């Protein structure tokens, strides 16, 4: 029996702690006991592959609902899903959700007094291609207030959920937009200890992939956990 090939371990600098004082809701939702470290077995190195999921046409385009255009700044969000070794992660499910251009989610618990848009739901899905590439068309989300502290506002963001090839490559994150003035005040963004890891959550404006007279474009690559003992090829 060959042993399963383990994935790399996560660094505490690259990910947020379970308890982050400035994000109040973590107070009663973080475990106090230490997590028990387990070796990777077949359970951890396998994971859902969604090979039977058939996307409907238009699931990657949030900017049109029932044939009608949503309000706001139309954008593309595209890039690649990679592993830590820089290899593409093909055929993996990517789910996104976001608020509309005014900063309002289509959700009964969103009480922000900003208008809903009848032509915007804010949900999309896509499967990365053979090269790990993906591309969504959407509307630039607005910033929105939340109840964490006085005058708290979230920087504009899109929620992303990815699976990758294994149970341990699961990633749920948020993608931000360049030069948002709210970064400095946002405890969710700032919960990541490493500055470079925080910066990696910010997409890049890319003029080359804009579409003239149609849409601006932001690029964002995801990097999922890779194998532990990746033999490094130095190109020789």
Partner 1 sequence: MSKMGVTASQTVGPFLSIAMRSEGQEYLVPKNSKNAIKIHGIVYDGEGTPVPDAVIEIWQANINGKYDHPEDNSDNELIKGFSGFGRSCTNNEGQFFFVTQKPGRVNGRGNSLQAPHLAVNILARGMLKQQVTRIYFSDEVQSNAEDPVLNQIDDELERKTLIANFNPNGGLIDEYEFHIYLQGENETIFFDV
Q: Is 159 a catalytic residue?
A: yes
Q: Is 23 a catalytic residue?
A: no
Q: Residue 72 Cβ, how far from partner 1 at the closest point, in Å?
A: 17
Q: Is 144 a catalytic residue?
A: yes
Q: Is 105 a catalytic residue?
A: yes
- Check 40, 112, 125, 159 and give the catalytic one: 159
- Check 20, 154, 176, 225 and give the catalytic one: 154
Residues near 89 by beta carbon (within 8 Å), at least 6 away in sequence: 81, 82, 83, 128, 132, 164, 165, 169, 222, 224
- Check 74, 80, 157, 225 and give the catalytic one: 157
Q: Is 74 a catalytic residue?
A: no
Nearest to partner 1 of 10, 211 (CB atom): 10
Nearest to partner 1 of 75, 166 (CB atom): 166
Residue with the two structure tokens 């003035």: 181
Written as six digits, the tokens of 190 are: 């700032």
**Is residue 81 a contact partner of residue 88, using CB atoms and an 8 Å limit?**
yes
Q: Residue 30 Cβ, how far from partner 1 at the closest point, in Å?
A: 6
**Dihedral sign of CA atoms 194, 196, 201, 202 in order:** positive
Q: Residue 209 Cβ, how far from partner 1 at the closest point, in Å?
A: 20
Active site residues: 105, 144, 154, 157, 159
């Amino acid at each position: 029996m060959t042993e399963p090939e383990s994935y790399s371990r996560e660094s505490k600098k690259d990910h947020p702690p379970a308890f982050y004082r400035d994000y109040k809701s973590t107070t009663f939702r973080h475990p106090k006991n230490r997590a028990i470290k387990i070796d990777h077995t077949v359970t951890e190195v396998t994971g859902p592959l969604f090979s039977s999921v058939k996307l409907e046409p238009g699931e990657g385009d949030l900017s049109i609902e029932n044939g009608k255009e949503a309000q706001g700044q139309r954008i593309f969000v595209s890039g690649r899903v990679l592993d830590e070794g820089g290899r593409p992660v093909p055929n993996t499910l990517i789910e996104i959700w976001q608020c509309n251009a005014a900063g309002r989610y289509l959700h009964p618990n969103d009480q922000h007094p900003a208008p809903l848009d009848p032509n915007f739901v804010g949900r999309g899905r896509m499967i990365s291609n053979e090269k790990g590439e993906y591309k969504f068309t959407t509307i630039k989300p607005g910033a929105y207030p939340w109840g964490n502290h006085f005058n708290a506002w979230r920087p504009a963001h899109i929620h992303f959920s990815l699976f990758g090839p294994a149970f341990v490559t699961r990633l749920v994150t948020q993608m931000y937009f360049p030069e948002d003035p709210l970064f400095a005040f946002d405890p969710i963004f700032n919960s990541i200890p490493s500055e470079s890891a925080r910066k990696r959550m910010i997409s890049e404006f890319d003029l080359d992939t804009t579409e003239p007279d149609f849409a601006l474009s932001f690029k964002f690559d995801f990097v999922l956990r890779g194998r532990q003992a990746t033999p490094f090829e130095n190109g020789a």
